[in-house]
Amino acid sequence: MFGTAKKYKVDYNGDKQWFIGAKEAYKAGEKVTLYFDMIATDTNYYFYIDGEEINPRYESGKGYKILFTMPEHDVSVRVEAVNSMIYIPEEKKETVLTFKSFDGGGPSYSVKIEDKSIADYKQTKWYSNPNHENMCGCSFEVNISFIGLMPGETTATIECRSPIADNYDVIYDIAVDADMRVTVTEKERKELIRP
């Protein structure tokens, strides 16, 4: 019968520290009020008493309020926390153009963007041979990445200059959409005549 002096244990499944007002044991018939305050954003919480799911109310500043009457047996209180944040990898929004060159006379590349408020660029050099510093005329790639700054259209000119190879300019149309994705389209190639 409820109200006897016998106390029954509550198993918090190792999470007792997250329950405000938690006691180890209660008398049968005693009203149990707990607040679960370990709240994280992007997380869904599921609450169980003796394996049966309950839906506690959330109280601002206190946490989830768990109410039940202690039965005449030990009780298990369990919380499952499931991260609800879905990771969506950021879409690659830059466009990369790759050019070939080599040490000791290979072409160098410079970039001129007509409207720098629409797009910008970064330029990197990449050697496929890790021993390139000890080699003569080692080849490498020049990667020019165009990055959108605001929606719009502009042009970019890549100037290719070499003391021993052909010199030319390539003009590209650059379009940046509302999501800052960049589209680069070759418009014109101008071969330069050596003097």
The model's pLDDT over 126-140, given as tens digits with 9 standing for 90+, comes to 887 777 787 788 888
- Mean pLDDT highest for which of 18-27, 116-125, 136-145, 186-195? 116-125
pLDDT tens per residue, range 47-99: 999 989 899 888 888 888 999 999 999 999 998 888 766 655 556 678 999 99
Which whole-number Å values give the CA distances from 164 to 66, 71, 100, 106, 140, in the listed order? Answer: 80, 91, 14, 7, 16
Pairing of strands 7-11, 75-83: parallel
79 sits in which H/E element: strand 75-83
Q: Which DSSP symbol is given to 38?
A: -
The pLDDT mean for the chain works out to: 86
Instruction: Report in angstroms the alpha-carbon separations of 150 from 13, 80, 145, 178, 186.
Output: 52, 44, 16, 7, 20
Position 23 pLDDT exceeds 60: yes
Predicted pLDDT at 92: 62
